[in-house]
Amino acid sequence: MNKRNTILAAATAAVLTAAVAPALLANAEPDAGPNALTWSSCLVLFQCAKTEVPLDHADPAGKKITISMIKAPAADQSRKIGPLFLNPGGPGITMTDGIYFAGIVNALGPAVRDRFDIIGIDPRGTGQSTPFGCTAAPGVPPAEAVSNWPDPPQYQQKFAHDEYLRASCAATAPEITYHLSTADTARDLDLVREALGEQKISYFGTSYGSYLGATYAALFPTRVRAMALDGVVDPTMYAEGKLSAKWSEASAEAVYSGFERCDQVGFFRCPLAGDARGRWERVVDSLYREPLALPGMTLDGKTFQGLTQNAMSMDRLAGVPVSTFSVLVAFTKGVDLLRFGPLSVRGNGLLDQLGGQLRQLLDATKEEEKVAVDAARAIQCVDSPWPADQQSWIDSAEQAEAAYPRFGAMGAWSVSLCANWPGSGKSSYRGPFDLKLDTPPLLSNPTHDANTGISGARGAQRQFAGSRLVEVETWGHTALGKSANCLTPITNAYLIDLKPPERDVRCRPDHALFG
- Using alpha carbons only, give the angle 127, 310, 415 rounded to the nearest 5 degrees: 65
Question: Can you state the angle between helices 276-289 and 243-265, rounded to 10 degrees?
Answer: 120
Spatial CA neighbour of 64 closest among 245, 226, 188: 188
Whether pLDDT at 496 is above 70: yes
Q: How far apart (Å, rounded) are the C-alpha atoms in residues 486 and 23?
A: 29
Q: How far apart (Å, rounded) are the C-alpha atoms in residues 250 and 254?
A: 6
pLDDT category of residue 29 using cuts at 50, 70 and 90: low
Mean pLDDT of 459-476: 98
pLDDT category of residue 288 using cuts at 50, 70 and 90: very high
Q: How far apart (Å, rounded) are the C-alpha atoms in residues 326 and 219?
A: 42
Query: Given this model, what pLDDT does residue 56 score?
Result: 96
Q: Could you check whether the bond before residue 142 is cis, i.e. omega within 30 degrees of 0?
A: no
Proportion of the chain above pLDDT 70, given as a percent: 88
Are 161 and 101 spatial neighbours (Cβ–Cβ below 8 Å)?
A: no
Are 475 and 511 spatial neighbours (Cβ–Cβ below 8 Å)?
A: no
Query: Given this model, what pLDDT does residue 135 score?
Result: 85
- Using alpha carbons only, give the angle 261, 262, 267 rounded to the nearest 5 degrees: 140
If you ran DSSP here, which 8-state letter would residue 120 be given? E
The residue count for the chain: 515
Are 471 and 311 spatial neighbours (Cβ–Cβ below 8 Å)?
A: no
Mean pLDDT of 345-373: 54
Q: How far apart (Å, rounded) are the C-alpha atoms in residues 323 and 331?
A: 13
Q: How far apart (Å, rounded) are the C-alpha atoms in residues 396 and 125?
A: 29
pLDDT category of residue 365 using cuts at 50, 70 and 90: low
Q: How far apart (Å, rounded) are the C-alpha atoms in residues 459 and 478?
A: 16
pLDDT category of residue 343 using cuts at 50, 70 and 90: low
Q: How far apart (Å, rounded) are the C-alpha atoms in residues 515 and 512?
A: 5
Are 305 and 406 spatial neighbours (Cβ–Cβ below 8 Å)?
A: yes
Q: How far apart (Å, rounded) are the C-alpha atoms in residues 404 and 420?
A: 27
Helix (H) or strand (E) holding 438: none
3-class SS of residue 323: coil
Q: How far apart (Å, rounded) are the C-alpha atoms in residues 204 and 95?
A: 14
Q: Where are the beta strands (DSSP E) in 295-343?
A: 297-299
Cβ-count burial 149-175 (b if 16+ within 10 Å, e if not): bbeeeebeebbbbbbbbbbbbbeebee
- Taking the CA atoms of residue 376, residue 378, residue 382 and residue 388 in that order, the dihedral angle to the nearest 10 degrees is 120
Query: Given this model, what pLDDT does residue 151 score?
Result: 93
Spatial CA neighbour of 422 closest among 146, 165, 66, 216: 165
How does DSSP assign 176-245, residue by residue? GGGS--HHHHHHHHHHHHHHHT-S-EEEEEETHHHHHHHHHHHH-GGGEEEEEEES---HHHHHTT-HHH
- How many CB atoms neighbour CB 44 within 10 A? 12
How does DSSP assign 347-405, residue by residue? TSTHHHHHHHHHHHHHHHH-B-TTS-HHHHHHHHHHHS----SHHHHHHHHHHHHHHST
What residues contact 291, with CB distance under 8 A and at least 6 apart? 298, 299, 300, 301
pTM of the predicted protein model: 0.91
- How many CB atoms neighbour CB 506 within 10 A? 11
Q: Where are the beta strands (DSSP E) in 6-81?
A: 40-42, 46-54, 64-72
Over the stretch 164-191, which tens digit does the pLDDT of each residue have?
Answer: 999 999 998 889 999 999 999 999 999 9
Are 469 and 461 spatial neighbours (Cβ–Cβ below 8 Å)?
A: yes
Mean pLDDT of 114-137: 93
3-class SS of residue 473: strand
Are 16 and 325 spatial neighbours (Cβ–Cβ below 8 Å)?
A: no
Whether pLDDT at 128 is above 90: yes
Q: How far apart (Å, rounded) are the C-alpha atoms in residues 397 and 394?
A: 5
Mean pLDDT of 376-380: 91
pLDDT category of residue 359 using cuts at 50, 70 and 90: low
Are 294 and 335 spatial neighbours (Cβ–Cβ below 8 Å)?
A: no
Mean pLDDT of 120-139: 91
Q: What is the pLDDT of the chain when averaged over all its residues?
A: 89
Q: How far apart (Å, rounded) are the C-alpha atoms in residues 350 and 356?
A: 10
Q: How far apart (Å, rounded) are the C-alpha atoms in residues 128 and 20?
A: 23
Are 63 and 53 spatial neighbours (Cβ–Cβ below 8 Å)?
A: no
